[in-house]
Chains A and B, each alone.
Chain A
C-alpha cells in the first residue's frame, strides 16, 4: 500500500489550531433559544452521522470560524453542493450493501453484495474527485481534501479495485438465463433469444386502446433475501457460468477493508454543512436573507441588519408567510438593548434571534440577516420566564434572583446575556428596584446584553442602554407589526393610537363637539 504523505485533512477543524473538546450535551441556553429545534431539524434523517456534538460546540477561535465559513461558502455553490449530496447518498448505499453482505445466508449472495458495495464506492469517490476538479474551490479545507482525493484515486490500490469490480459487473450483467417451470419440475438453461410474449399480447389488443389505463402495482415480496428455490436456480446459473462466479468469490477475499478512513471522515463532516444548508434552503427560497457575519475579537461594535428567528421563520415559511426582519446594533459605549412594547409584539422572538445569531456565527454558519458583525462570546447566558412557578410569586422571585446571581458570578465581559421578562409577576415597585440594581451590575460587567422588559424606565438609564420598541400599526393598534425599532420607549403611544382610532383625543373631541 502506498504511503499517503498527507496529514488527514478535516473540513471542520483547521490543522493549525487546537481542536475544541466536543460537547456531548447541548449548552444550557439551547431550550431558551429554541436551538434544540434547529439542531433537531438539521440532523433529522442524518442520525447515522452523529452530528449533534458539532452543533453543540461553538468555536472560540476566530480563524477556526473563518475556516468553516470558507468551506460553507464553497458548498453553497450549487455544483459543489450537488457533488457532495450525490457522494453522500452513494456512501449511504455502500454502507447498506455491506450490511446486507453481513446478514445474508447464501455465500454467493454475500459476494454479490460486497461487489455492489465496492462498485458504488469507487464510482462515488471518482465522481466526487472529477466533480470537485471542475469547480473553483476557495476554502483551505476543501482544497486540501481535493488534493487528497487526487492522490488517492491515482493510487494503484484504488485503480485495481475499481478495474476488477467493473469487469465483474460487466460479466454478470450480460447473463440472461431461462427457467421453465412445469409443476414441481424446474429447468435452468441459457436464454436462447425467445420473443417476449407480453409484447405480443399488447400488440394484439392495441386496437381497442382508448387511453392509458393505470398499470398494475403488483405486490412481490421484495426482500433482498433469497429463498432456497432462488438459491438453487442461482446455483444452476453458476454452473452455466462457472468462471464468472469463481472470480467473484476471489474478489471478496482480496479486498476486505476497502473504505479509506479519510474518506469516511469527510463523509461525516460534510453533513454538518449539507445539513445546515438544507435547513435554511426553504427560507432562502422564500426570500429571507442570510449572510456570513464578520467576526471580531472584541465585542465593542456588534450589529445585524434584517435578522429573524430561525424557528419562527421555518414555521411561517411552511405556512406560506414570512417573518418580520429586524435590525440591532450595540456601538461604542452601548452595552444593553432594552426591549419594550405591547405583549405579543415580537419582543421575545427578537431577543431569541440575537442569541441564535451568536451561537450560529460561532459554529461558522451563515446567519439570518443581510449583514452582521458579531463576536464570539465565551458563554451565552439566558434567563427566560418559565411559566408559573409551583411555589407562587415568592418562590419564583427567589429563583429568578438565584439564577441572576449565578449568571453574574460566572459571566465575564466576553459573555452574552439575554434576559427575558424577569420579575414580571412582582410588584412594579419591586421590579423596578431589582431591575435597576441588576442592570447596573451587568453594565458594570461590560458584557453585551439583551433585556426584554415592561419597565420603560430601564430603557433610558444611561448612555450604555439602547431602547428598542415593539411597534403597532398606527391606524389599527390591534395589529402588531412585529417590527422592533430603535427609539425612545413611550408606553403612551399605544394608548394614544387607540384613542385616535376611536376619535377620543383632545383635538378630536373638540372637533366633534364643535357646532
Chain B
C-alpha cells in the first residue's frame, strides 16, 4: 500500500524522514545522542544544500512550515532543497495535491494526525534486549497490532467519507488503495489471527534432526480444531492412528519446564518474527504516510502564517528551461516576511529572455533581499508549492547555486580571496546549462579592477553556456562593462534611493551608477555628516 503524494511513480524516502526527524528531535531536546547510524542528513540533497540554506536564509521558512513538527521540518527541507532540479510533470502533480489540501485542510490534517499518533506511539521501539526473545517479541507485536487496529479502522472510515472531495490524481490513487486493501472483512481476519496467536490450545511444532541430533528447521503449525462431529468420533474409533509418544513433566521439574519453554520459543520464533515484522510493516505504513503528507501540511502551515499576516500567495506558472522566462508581480522575500513586523516591500519584474540580471545600487537598499526572494520563489515553484507573489512565471532551472559573500572569508584574512575563488570553482564543477547562479557581491575580497575582470570572464563564459546569472554587485566597473555591450541580453536593476538618501527597498530597472552611497548609511547610523557629501554621480551616456 502506497501513498504516492509527492511523486506519481516513486516513494519519498520515508525511512530517511523517520530517522532525520528522530535525530532532529534529539538535537532539539539537546540529547547528545550518537548520530543515528543510518541517517545521512544530506541524503538526496544537492551538494550545495548548506550554502543554499544559509545564503537564502531558509531557516525561518522551514520553521514556519514545521511549527515544531520535526517530520515536517526535515521533509520540507529536503523536498525544497531537492527541488533545485525539477520536472514540470511533478510540479503539476504536486500543485494539484496541494490545491486539494487547501480546499480540505481539515481532512488532510486528520489524516496526518492519525499518522502522527502511530509514529509517535511508544510501542515497538523500546524492546531493546528483549527483542532477543521470541516470547517478548510476539507479545509486543500482538499488543502493537491490537493498538493499530483503531487507527486502521479510522483510516478506513475517513477515506470512505471524504474520497469524493479529492480530485488530484495523487489523492485518488491513495484513497483507492485504502478502499481496496483495508476492507472491513480484512480487518476482521487480522483480528482472528491476533486471537489465535495467543495459543489458547497449546503449540504445535515440527522439526528435523539437525547436527548432533538437535532439533532444527522448526516450524509452527495451527493446532487443529477440536473434533466435535459424529463422523470424527467414528474415525477416531476405527481408523488406524499414527503412533504417538507421550510424556509429561513433573510440576517440580523446573529445569524441565525451562527446557520446554525454550523449545516453545524456538517453535514460535518464526511466527514471532513474522508478526514482529508485520507490526513493523504496519507502523512503517503510517511512517510512510506521514512522510508523504508532511510537506503538504507544511505548506498548509505556511499558507496560514502568510495569510494571517496579510500576504498574498499564488500558484506559479513554471515554464520550460529553454524559454528563459522570469516575470512576476508582487514578489516578496518570504523568510523576511515571516520574521519582521513591518510590511515587506514587494517587487515586480519583467525579464523574460534575459540570461543576466545585474543588480546594483546603494548599500542596504534591498538587493540581497531581492536576490533571496528570487531564489526562494524558484525553489518553492520547483517543489510544487505556491510562491509568495501575486503572480509568478519562471523557467525551470537545472540547478540553483549561490555564491554569497561570507563572514569567514572576511575573518580568515589569509587567502580569503583564494577561498572565494575555491568556492566558485566548486560551483563551476557542478554548473550545467539551464542552471541559475545567484551571486551576491562575489569577488569583493579583492580590489574592484581584479574582481570585476574575474567576474566578467566568469559571467561571460557561463551565460554563453546557458546558465542564468543574477548578480548583485557594487563593482561599477563590472556592471558598466556589460551595460556598454548593449542592454539586449542583460537586465540592469538598481535599488531605489530617494533624493534624501532614504531607501525604498524597491528594485527598479536602471543603468548602473558609479557609487553605492555607503556614506549615506554611515550618516544614518551615526547621525552625522561626514564632510563632503556626494550627489548622485551623473550617469554616462
Q: Which residues of A contact B (CB under 8 A)?
A: 100, 104, 108-109, 112-113, 116, 172-173, 175-192, 194-202, 204-211, 213, 215-221, 224, 226-230, 232-237, 239-240
Question: Known interface pairs A176-B207, A210-B14. Does A183 touch B281 (Cβ–Cβ under 8 Å)?
Answer: no
B273 within 8 A of A: yes
Kindly list chain A residues whose C-beta atoms are within 8 Å of the C-beta of B280: 213
Kindly list chain B residues whose C-beta atoms are within 8 Å of the C-beta of A172: 209
User: Which 3 A-B pairs give the minimum distances between C-beta atoms?
Assistant: A182-B202, A205-B278, A236-B245
Interface residues on B, range: 35 or more
B45 within 8 A of A: no
Binding site secondary structure of chain A: mixed
| Complex-state Cα separation, A208 to B277, whole angstroms | 10
Contacting residue for A184 out of B181, B204, B260, CB 8 A: B260
Q: Please name the residue on chain A nearest to B130 by beta carbon.
A: A219
Contacting residue for B278 out of A182, A208, A220, A233, CB 8 A: A208
Kindly list chain B residues whose C-beta atoms are within 8 Å of the C-beta of A213: 277, 280-281, 284
Contacting residue for A196 out of B132, B260, B270, B273, CB 8 A: B270
- Tell me whether B274 and A201 are in contact (CB under 8 A): yes
Count of A-B contacts judged by CB separation below 8 Å? 207
Q: Please name the residue on chain B nearest to A244 by beta carbon.
A: B209
| Complex-state Cα separation, A424 to B134, whole angstroms | 70
Kindly list chain B residues whose C-beta atoms are within 8 Å of the C-beta of A218: 132-134, 137, 265, 269, 272-273
Interface digits, B272-301 against A, CB 8 Å rule (1 contact, 0 not)? Answer: 111111101110110110000000000000
Q: Which of B106-114, B210-218, B302-310, B449-457 contacts A (4 or more CB under 8 A)?
A: B210-218
- In the assembled complex, the CB of A336 is this many whole angstroms from the nearest CB of chain B, namely 54
Question: Known interface pairs A186-B246, A186-B247, A218-B133. Does A116 touch B281 (Cβ–Cβ under 8 Å)?
Answer: no
Kindly list chain B residues whose C-beta atoms are within 8 Å of the C-beta of A113: 212
Kindly list chain A residues whose C-beta atoms are within 8 Å of the C-beta of B202: 180-183
- Tell me whether A228 and B275 are in contact (CB under 8 A): no
B203 within 8 A of A: yes
- In the assembled complex, the CB of B212 is this many whole angstroms from the nearest CB of chain A, namely 5
Given A202-B278, A218-B132, 6 additional A-B pairs, CB 8 A: A108-B213, A112-B211, A181-B205, A188-B246, A196-B270, A197-B220
| Complex-state Cα separation, A180 to B201, whole angstroms | 10
26 contacts between A and B (CB under 8 A): A109-B212, A112-B212, A173-B208, A173-B209, A178-B204, A178-B206, A180-B203, A187-B246, A188-B246, A189-B245, A190-B242, A196-B220, A196-B270, A197-B220, A198-B219, A198-B273, A202-B278, A205-B277, A206-B281, A208-B281, A208-B282, A216-B272, A227-B255, A229-B259, A229-B260, A230-B259
- Tell me whether B133 and A185 are in contact (CB under 8 A): no
Question: Known interface pairs A196-B221, A218-B134. Does A210 touch B284 (Cβ–Cβ under 8 Å)?
Answer: yes
Contacting residue for A208 out of B223, B246, B273, B284, CB 8 A: B284
Contacting residue for A186 out of B15, B197, B248, B272, CB 8 A: B248
Q: Please name the residue on chain A nearest to B250 by beta carbon.
A: A184
Q: Which of B472-519 contact A (CB under 8 A)?
A: none
| Complex-state Cα separation, A446 to B287, whole angstroms | 83
Question: Known interface pairs A202-B274, A208-B1, A230-B259. Does A224 touch B212 (Cβ–Cβ under 8 Å)?
Answer: yes
B128 within 8 A of A: no
- Tell me whether A188 and B249 are in contact (CB under 8 A): no
- Tell me whether A179 and B1 are in contact (CB under 8 A): no
B40 within 8 A of A: no
Kindly list chain B residues whose C-beta atoms are within 8 Å of the C-beta of A112: 209, 211-213
Interface digits, B250-269 against A, CB 8 Å rule (1 contact, 0 not)? Answer: 11000111011011111101
| Complex-state Cα separation, A206 to B212, whole angstroms | 36
Question: Known interface pairs A210-B11, A228-B256. Does A176 touch B208 (Cβ–Cβ under 8 Å)?
Answer: yes
Q: Please name the residue on chain A nearest to B190 by beta carbon.
A: A204
- Tell me whether A216 and B278 are in contact (CB under 8 A): no
| Complex-state Cα separation, A23 to B181, whole angstroms | 77
Question: Known interface pairs A181-B202, A221-B262. Does A226 touch B270 (Cβ–Cβ under 8 Å)?
Answer: no
Q: Please name the residue on chain A nearest to B203 by beta carbon.
A: A181
Contacting residue for A197 out of B221, B245, B277, CB 8 A: B221
- Tell me whether A220 and B265 are in contact (CB under 8 A): yes
- In the assembled complex, the CB of A328 is this many whole angstroms from the nearest CB of chain B, namely 48
| Complex-state Cα separation, A180 to B219, whole angstroms | 12
Kindly list chain B residues whose C-beta atoms are within 8 Å of the C-beta of A188: 244-246
Kindly list chain A residues whose C-beta atoms are within 8 Å of the C-beta of B262: 220-221
Kindly list chain A residues whose C-beta atoms are within 8 Å of the C-beta of B538: none
Kindly list chain A residues whose C-beta atoms are within 8 Å of the C-beta of B250: 184
Interface digits, B68-100 against A, CB 8 Å rule (1 contact, 0 not)? Answer: 000000000000000000000000000000000
Contacting residue for B189 out of A189, A204, A220, CB 8 A: A204
B193 within 8 A of A: yes
| Complex-state Cα separation, A213 to B278, whole angstroms | 9
| Complex-state Cα separation, A217 to B127, whole angstroms | 13
Q: Please name the residue on chain A nearest to B189 by beta carbon.
A: A204
B319 within 8 A of A: no
Q: Please name the residue on chain A nearest to B211 by beta carbon.
A: A116
- Tell me whether A198 and B245 are in contact (CB under 8 A): no
Kindly list chain B residues whose C-beta atoms are within 8 Å of the C-beta of A221: 262
- In the assembled complex, the CB of A187 is this many whole angstroms from the nearest CB of chain B, namely 5
- In the assembled complex, the CB of A211 is this many whole angstroms from the nearest CB of chain B, namely 6
Kindly list chain B residues whose C-beta atoms are within 8 Å of the C-beta of A204: 189-190, 193, 278
Q: Please name the residue on chain A nearest to B258 by beta carbon.
A: A227
- Tell me whether B270 and A234 are in contact (CB under 8 A): no
| Complex-state Cα separation, A383 to B504, whole angstroms | 89
